[in-house]
Chain A
Amino acid sequence: MVTNTTSDHIIIKANELTKELGGQVAVRDLTFEIPRGVVFGLIGPSGAGKTTTIRLLTGIYAPTAGELTVLGRRPSFFTRRERERIGYMAQFFNLYPDLTVWENLNFSASLYGLSPRRGKRLNELLEFVELKEHKSKRARELSGGMQRRLNLAATLVHEPDLIFLDEPTTGLDPILREKLWGAFRRLRDEGRTLLVTTQYMGEAVACDLIGVLSDQRLIQVATPQGLRHAALGGDVIDLVAEENLSYQQLQELRLLPFVRHVARLAGDNSVRLIVDEAGAASPVLSEWGRAQQLTLKTVEEYVPPFDEVFVTLIKQQKQQEQKRD
């Protein structure tokens, strides 16, 4: 059962958060808010500052500058009570290789002061991460994926409200990754808040909110849809006709009020349009085609992969920086 102890629904609030490590800036001017009960994805390439951000949020690092509150308190001053409400899964396997799955989980439970009558809870967790039949195996004998799941179980053993998962799916096969994201969504549905970092841009779609980190800066925080809009300027519709589209027709398309951008695709009979909203634009475009006596083969929304979205966002960011410079 998740308890609501903060006055509002914002569980994490960062303002101009900066951290320097060894004289180098690890993250700079991070400003964001995370509401309760969402999966927040922190996405960025290796070295972007994802782990540093998580360490700041868990109180492992103290900020060099800026303000940060998690669960209503500065993480550097977390009390035992706040720490009991947090679960943190580090980027690498960090349990004891010579202990069995059960012993590791039991040790983690003890660290959080769980009652000695915890057997049922541990079994439930092992079932949840599909490790029940491996509970007598030593951790060193587990595969990488199993070790990640054991780490996840150890993170969840005390039923935390706020869960930090640092690249939990790195190195796992797609099926296992999908399983884990399913588990994250279930935790979210139980009312818990998850902050998940990942290098896989495709996983962004499974998040409720996404923060994009690049070069130690947070360049965007939005929903997946919002991120596409931000990257491409709107929804994307690909229009393909039997006939070639004339210059005049392209100009007419540009003059439609919901159309932001028009560009030819591979042939003269196809164009890609950036529109305010694909759902509303599609029927109007079909109607426009009929009025132009065009035989439209397809008028459909194109959903760009997040890799593309991410690359576009990074490029835009760099262009803006160059302009500023």
Chain B
Amino acid sequence: MNNPADHSPDAPLDGDLRPHSFDGIQEYDKRLPRWWLLTLYGAMVFAVIYWAYYHAYSIGTPPALALEKEMAENAVLAAQKSGVIDDDTLWKMSLDPKIVSAGKLTFDTTCAVCHKPDMTGLIGPNLVDHEWIHGGKPMDAFKTVNEGVLVKGMPAWGPMLGRQKISEAVAYIFSHHKPGEEVIIVPGWTPPPGVMAIPPPPPAK
């Protein structure tokens, strides 16, 4: 077999054999392989440096602080990049077939489970009628999706979907509405009776 130690000049097969034997087992007393010693000492040196850097002299940033810094920077940069979102922009987006079909994709994979693929409501309310719980303007809907309404079971999708996908999804919802149409504010939504007995259809891929 190809064991390098078989052939290395400093490792003859005999010699260094300790005199004692245990149940017939004998022991050589070979020198420790140099590369092995280097990994041992190298890891120790690294340990000292690491400890000095993060703890003894506190040069490195602790992980929690580093995380907060990174996320804050990310948020500032992302906000600078994305443009303004308001009712007007969202209405305009709702007329753009490209944006609407991108929004439909997000809706079908994320929202349809609760709001039903045709948006007529399941666990979550109907989105194509004129009744609204948290306001009927596109920015109201954007806020509801972005921040969620935890008490009513609507998760905050902002951290998961991001501004772009949320505005697309909102544009898709409002492609079923028109500016200036009737808006009735209602206190809540009651799921249709027996609806939970029937599993909702799987989301379209």
Say if A and B assemble together.
Answer: no
Interface residues of B, Cβ cutoff 8 Å to A: none
Interface residues of A, Cβ cutoff 8 Å to B: none
